[in-house]
Amino acid sequence: MSAGPGVVGNRRLPGQPVDADSSDRRALSPGALAALQPQGRALLSVDGMWCASCAAAVEQVIGRAPGMLDARVSFDGASAVLRWDPERTDLRDVAARVTSLGYRLARPAAADAVAAGIGDAMRAAAVRLALGLFLGVSTMALSVVLYLDAGAVVGSATGHVLAAIATGLAGIAVLASGWPMLLTGWRTLRAGVPGMDTLIALGASAALVLSLARLLSGSDQVYADTAVMLVVLALVGRLVELAATRRATLAIGALQHAVPESAEVRGPGGRWRSVAAEQVSAGALIRVSAGARVPLDGVVVAGRSSLDRSLLTGEPMPVELAPGATVEAGCINLRTPVELRVTHALGDRRIDALGLRIAEALGEKGATQRLADRFARWLVPAALGLAALTLSIGLAAGLDGAEALLRAVSVLVIACPCAVALAVPLTWVAAARRAAEAGVLFRTPRAIEGLAGVRTILFDKTGTLTEGRPRVSDVHAVPGTPKAYVLAWAARAEQGIEHPLAAALRAAVPADAPTREWNDAGWTRERGERIVRLAQRTKGHQRGGIDSAGVAEVLVGSAAALQGLGLPVPAAPVADDQSASRVEVVVNGRWVGRILLRDTIRPDSAVALKALAGAGVGLGLVTGDHERAAAAVADQLAIAPAQVIAGASPEAKAERVGALSHPAAFVGDGINDGIALARSAAGIAVTDAAGTATAAADIVLSGPGLAGVVAAYRLARGARRIMRQNLALAVIYNTGGLLLAAGGAVPPLAAALAMAASSVCVVANAGRVLLLPLALTGPANES
């Protein structure tokens, strides 16, 4: 089996540390590109990006390559998900196109390296912002003196010196603080996908050039403060965006931590020794001790045990192991040691494929551009065209060159979308603050847009709609055997087993049972204490000699597993709760009883789902549990049977999300939910979710229950509405301002002041998010 798409000469999962600092290790040589060519699909890193505009430019350039079927570039994960026609696409040409923009295609980077890179970018942006603010305040102070002319300095030598100092400070601020935006603006313009950085770069540069021209002509009417204001406001928005972005590929790192890094391999002389999992190849013989996680996929060749597959399925019922059974990495061997023949080495395991699918889903989601980016797509060419037209018309009308250039610069300045740049980040900051009051964390601005647009919310069952902690609901025993015997034996046999069902059985037998619960059934204290002693001397799950109490063996497991051992286990009566998990108990080869366990529904699940349904949201249940358990939960929560899918694998959960004809959110808590969370329009991880689920989700609930889902949905709808209002305000401002500036009615100073006024309006409107309601009841905020 191959290592999977995007892995060339490297048997590791994308996101796993592989010497990320070594460019040689991650570089894609011509030979590596040739080896990757026939696969037609890859997940790769894009080095050198520092903003979403960079990702948009790379995506456009790659998408234009011959034979490229799909290109999704994510700044969040510094990654590119590519699909191409192997017969028509030359990957060397694709890599060259990316290099021409100043970036580089490489093998997938380590998750911690990507997060560290975003952290470095945040710190660098903060330093540039601090420098810009310091120089900006100085420039603004000098400009105010010139604008107000309080000391009659305009037109004097002193005024000319002040104007020169202001222009010099502004030039330093633009170059030192804004150079990444200048570089990105040029790259995106050259790629044909100009964004806000292009407008900011053009506006700031034009203001500086015009200021220098004025100084050289002897005038002290400069526009240095305009240039600095553009850069500083843009840096504020960029810093907020970076702070919101540091997340995506940590999902892969969290997944890796769930699997042991070493394996016990049989060496010379039959001795077992521990080696790094990456050194074990397919065909090797490994041993997995009781209670240990499985490091590599394999087939059981010796031993019988039980397997906890909840990492992959999320469901509590263990699976019995026997020779010939398949075992996946990450699962827990519950009972006794087993020996496995490795079938898939590191990089080829099922959990590796799961991690790759999560990374691909995050990359695809990263292709969704912000509302502001889409707005800037048409504004840039319109502003450039109008500025050129204004300059041409001014010269043709007989204006001198300075006046015509002044009008053209006014067009560029007033077109700079500072209000647009702030609209999304500031609204997100306000929404994040408001959401925190309800125990909800919005990880990125995109999470708001994604959740606001969903029409269906799909829920995992175990640990999401339910508590995720099974409890004993009933005990059935053969006539003549008290239920307490059955429960005590099963609980003792499960000592030392780390599994939800085992914990539930142990919790059902409290330490003071002989003096409290069992006496209620008519038992004497002495008789109750003897039962405890009997259980304590039981040889759980082991065949051996008869002990002094007459108990040789207690076996606990599913009916199918015990029947497979040749033990007589009767079928469950129809009157039994068919939705419950059933554990059979056999003592000395004789069936003595059955214990039923159920996972209780979270107290507020019904209220939350009713509120969502009342807001017009469709509801669905997608679980890895069996059909009876899923149907029982769906019935109690009024979820239509047609919207229930049981026995779903992690891949099947993601496929259900993608099969819907409209955007859908997914709510889950386990590693097995990771792909669905990443692929959905808005993934929501509940409280105490697994690390992978939390990292793959767009929204994380820190408070108990599902009230946070309702609060997040209501807040997202209202926040998106306010974002769109801000963008509409910016459209009106830019459209009207451009026309006035082109006619010479708005000089650069007035354009800068108007730009500042529009930014203030955006900030004030974004603050309305703090007033949005979050209660479970009441009408939802509609867009």
Measured between alpha carbons, how far is 630 from 647 in angstroms, rounded to an integer?
9
Residue type, 719: A
Which one of 460, 625, 669, 673 is the catalytic residue? 460
Q: How many CB atoms lie within 10 A of CB 31?
A: 10
Residues 439-468: b if buried by 16+ CB within 10 A, e if exposed: bbbbbbbbbbbbbbbbebbbbbbbbbbbbb
Residue type, 40: G
- Of the candidates 748, 754, 762, the residue with the CA atom closest to the CA atom of residue 225: 748
> What does each C-alpha distance from 702 to 143, 148, 440 come to in angstroms?
48, 53, 6
Phi/psi of residue 219, nearest 5 degrees: -90, 150
Tokens of 310: 């909840």
Measured between alpha carbons, how far is 167 from 139 in angstroms, rounded to an integer?
8
Measured between alpha carbons, how far is 499 from 292 in angstroms, rounded to an integer?
12
756 CB burial (10 A radius; 0-12, 13-18, 19+) = middle
- Of the candidates 245, 460, 256, 281, the residue with the CA atom closest to the CA atom of residue 355: 256
Q: How many CB atoms lie within 10 A of CB 20?
A: 22
Any idea which residue has 């159920």 for tokens?
Answer: 598
Tokens of 154: 């305009």
The 3 state secondary structure assigned to 85-98 is: CCCCCCHHHHHHHH
Query: Are the beta carbons of 440 and 699 closer than 8 angstroms?
Result: yes
Tokens of 433: 């603050």
DSSP codes, 443-464: -SHHHHHHHHT-SEEEE-IIII
Residue type, 158: T
**Within the chain, how many helices (H) and strands (E) appear?**
27, 24
Alpha helices, DSSP H, located in 600-686: 605-614, 627-636, 650-659, 674-679
Question: DSSP E strands: which ranges in 623-730?
Answer: 644-645, 664-668, 682-685, 699-701
Measured between alpha carbons, how far is 467 from 460 in angstroms, rounded to an integer?
12
∠ CA(243), CA(247), CA(248), 5° rounding? 140
125 CB burial (10 A radius; 0-12, 13-18, 19+) = buried
Annotated active-site residue 348? The verdict is no
Residue 353 CB-half CA count within 13 A: 16
Alpha helices, DSSP H, located in 217-293: 224-245, 250-257
3-state secondary structure of 2: coil
Tokens of 477: 């025993």
3-state secondary structure of 591: strand
Q: Which residues are catalytic?
A: 460
